[in-house]
Structure 1
Amino acid sequence: MTIKPYPIQFKPEMKERIWGGQALSRFGLDVPEGNIGEGWMIGDHPNGTTKAINGELAGLGLDEIREQYGAEWFGSKGYKAGTRFPLLIKLLDCNDDLSIQVHPTDDYAKLPPGELGKTEMWYILDAKPGAKIIYGLQEGVDRAQLEQALKENRVMDCLQEVPVKAGDAFYIPAGTVHALCAGIVVAEIQQNSDTTYRVYDYDRPGLDGKLRELHVEDSLNVTAYEGAGATRTTTDGVQAGEWLEIARSPYFIVEKGIIAGSTSLRVPSDSFVILVIAEGSGSLEWEGGSQDVKAGECFLLPATLGQYVLDGQLTVIRSELP
């Protein structure tokens, strides 16, 4: 039986983290008890593969759907035999500060077998007054200075703190030292990777009561001391009907759009599209179907979907492959 393409929604994989909380429940998500830091909304990784919850493919994992429909549904950019889905889409609840960390590039020699580097971007969904992030090194800090600061337990002297508010977007190429801090809820679009090197973790115990592992040598090796091209975008001025590019990398292009009423769009034939509903509610319509949508929901639109319509009062984060 031939299944017509439709927007696929997945059951989030919830991950407990020492810095997590319960904020993702405000989106109506099924959040278990505990410190839930990450909801993997769309993913195909050994550490978590999401399963479809709507339509005729309900119950199938993203890996199974890709194997079944290949480039037809995922586009020539989105499907290559023997590879995983290229992106990982998360919602993060930063109830406490995350570790100071850095991610490697794809060509780092000490990557775990089968793993990729990690370039990512954040869209700030919510931020408490005074919320901040760590975003790069202070100007002029080199490897020797960073290493010495780590030995002397004063690494914070080497880092830039940036205040944040809802609607800010940050592009974080591999090699950028960074950390989300307490009081922030984030949508994260990233390479399909779970490789993180902890630079510093505030000497706090993990969920098991023991200090979490640091990766100082790897961190020093992969940090881009001259900068990796990190950029910040303030999106306050986006008007209804506009799409503002908020991140562009070799791995993804991400735009923010404001929907007020009905807007007709089209999925490119060579790439799937991912929609993250950041605010509001409305509907998603396509040939042969429609679906109510609301903040906190994520949808994968197959490359063969063609035209679709977003209707309502919505803030949407739209991602596709470059």
Structure 2
Amino acid sequence: MPEKLYPLLFEPIFKTKVWGGRRLAGVLNKKLPGEDPVGESWEVVDTGGESGVITNGPLSGKTLHEIFISYEEALVGTASVGRTFPLLLKFIDAGDVLSVQVHPDSECAERINDPGARRKTEAWYVLDSEPDSRMYLGVKEGTTRESFEKLLREGRLEDCLNSFPVGRCDVLFVPAGTIHAIGKGILLYEIQECSDTTYRVYDWNRLGLDGKPRKLHLSEALEAAYFEPPKSNTIKSVPIETDFGTVTRHIHCDSFVLTEYNLENHAEITTDGKTFHIVTAVDGSADIDSEDGGVELPLGRTTLVPAAISRYRITPGQTCRVLVSSLPR
């Protein structure tokens, strides 16, 4: 008999990036390896090639992919279909601006000459930024593929990119096909479809960690991109007052749901067996409890609450702010 599921903790997978930094340690208490710039911390992941390792309870040492295969609906719920866990959660530390890039939508992923291509829609929640930090999302009104390519050849691509300042707690939605870049000085939470398909358009003429220019994917990127401005720069959501604090539903799309809880008292949360919940403490700390077990969530820590746990409780340490990502029911 398989072990009964309970709230799961994972060992983060750190990614060294030329544009990375070290704020994951200073702001989110991550124990970073070495002294290289770390750009990403993958908190919940199962790409097939890489899968997070469980660190708590009887299933400790198992990977998320192994659990996905063994438990299927009990883990992900009735809302999920697919061969791997459907979402990937990461933190991103942009010590420098990231490349201008784009991810394909489903139609593009099928027709493009890239056997491993998968759709990737994502969302960002800004945890920290510098006073002059800017985000690049979509292109300016009137930009066409032809004018985009012309500016790219002339080294003036930034002239057609839609950019704007961002600050703490800003939320951005990045549908597949959106040209984008995370600006220098931004630390953020990213929830995305479980895909690592990224096509770089422009890398600001810098060299990689190996001293060579990083590979660009111009033909694929131009095929995948939508040449249009975003519907909005940041998401404007209205918090709902409750007896335990405020609840803000930031995003509800066909790929995922992102909800913010600012807690003053304990909150009873339900999954109804239809979807898992990925719960992350982004300010303060919290305890997660259920009939099937519980975990402590210090700042920067994430737990995966399986769909089979139909009800669980979040108890704040004094006050706290948590983000919950799940599938649309």
The TM-score range, normalised by the shorter chain, is over 0.9
Q: Does the 8 Å contact 2:138/2:180 carry over to 1?
A: yes
- For residues 241-271 of structure 1, what are the alpha-carbon distances to aligned partners after superposition, in whole Å with 9 as ceiling and x for unaligned? 3221212221101111111121111123111
Distance 1:236 1:194 in 2: 32
**2:275: which partner in 1?**
271
SS, match of residue 247 in structure 1: strand
SS, match of residue 55 in structure 1: coil
Distance 1:305 1:280 in 2: 24
**1:247: which partner in 2?**
251
For the pair 1:283 / 2:277, whether they are aligned, the reply is no
Q: Indicate which of 43, 54, 61 corresponds to 1:59.
A: 61
Q: TM-score, normalised by structure 1?
A: 0.94
**Residues 1:153 and 1:47: Cα distance change in structure 2 (over 3 Å):** farther
1:72 shift after superposition: 2.0
- For residues 65-106 of structure 1, what are the alpha-carbon distances to aligned partners after superposition, in whole Å with 9 as ceiling and x for unaligned? 0111111222122354xx111111101111111011111112
1:48 shift after superposition: 2.2
RMSD of equivalent CA atoms: 1.8
| Unmatched tracts of structure 2, length 5 or more | none
Q: How many residues align?
A: 320
**1:301: which partner in 2?**
305
Give the residue type in structure 2 aligned to 1:158. Answer: C
Moved more, 27-36 or 16-25: 27-36
Distance 2:81 2:73 in 1: 5
Moved more, 242-251 or 225-234: 225-234
SS, match of residue 265 in structure 1: strand
**2:159: which partner in 1?**
157
Give the residue type in structure 1 aligned to 2:222. Answer: L
Q: Indicate which of 175, 195, 198 corresponds to 1:196.
A: 198
1:114 shift after superposition: 3.8
- For residues 144-185 of structure 1, what are the alpha-carbon distances to aligned partners after superposition, in whole Å with 9 as ceiling and x for unaligned? 100111111100000111101110000000111111111111
**1:320: which partner in 2?**
326
Distance 1:84 1:112 in 2: 19
For the pair 1:260 / 2:239, whether they are aligned, the reply is no
Give the residue type in structure 2 aligned to 1:295. Answer: L
SS, match of residue 187 in structure 2: strand
1:281 shift after superposition: 1.0
Distance 2:240 2:282 in 1: 14
Distance 1:96 1:231 in 2: 21
Q: Indicate which of 222, 226, 237 corresponds to 1:220.
A: 222
1:288 shift after superposition: 4.3
Distance 1:316 1:66 in 2: 24
**1:130: which partner in 2?**
132
- For residues 1-20 of structure 1, what are the alpha-carbon distances to aligned partners after superposition, in whole Å with 9 as ceiling and x for unaligned? 45332111110111111101
Q: Does the 8 Å contact 1:168/1:235 carry over to 2?
A: no
**1:23: which partner in 2?**
23
For the pair 1:147 / 2:153, whether they are aligned, the reply is no
Q: TM-score, normalised by structure 2?
A: 0.92
Distance 2:131 2:238 in 1: 17
- For residues 262-317 of structure 1, what are the alpha-carbon distances to aligned partners after superposition, in whole Å with 9 as ceiling and x for unaligned? 11111231111111211111211111433221221111111111211111121111
Identical counterparts, % of pairs? 34
**Residues 1:60 and 1:286: Cα distance change in structure 2 (over 3 Å):** same
Distance 1:222 1:115 in 2: 11
1:221 shift after superposition: 1.5
SS, match of residue 257 in structure 1: strand
| Unmatched tracts of structure 1, length 5 or more | none
**Residues 1:296 and 1:288: Cα distance change in structure 2 (over 3 Å):** same
Distance 2:76 2:238 in 1: 32
Distance 1:230 1:268 in 2: 32
Give the residue type in structure 2 aligned to 1:32. Answer: P
1:113 shift after superposition: 2.0
More strand by share: 1
Distance 2:290 2:185 in 1: 37
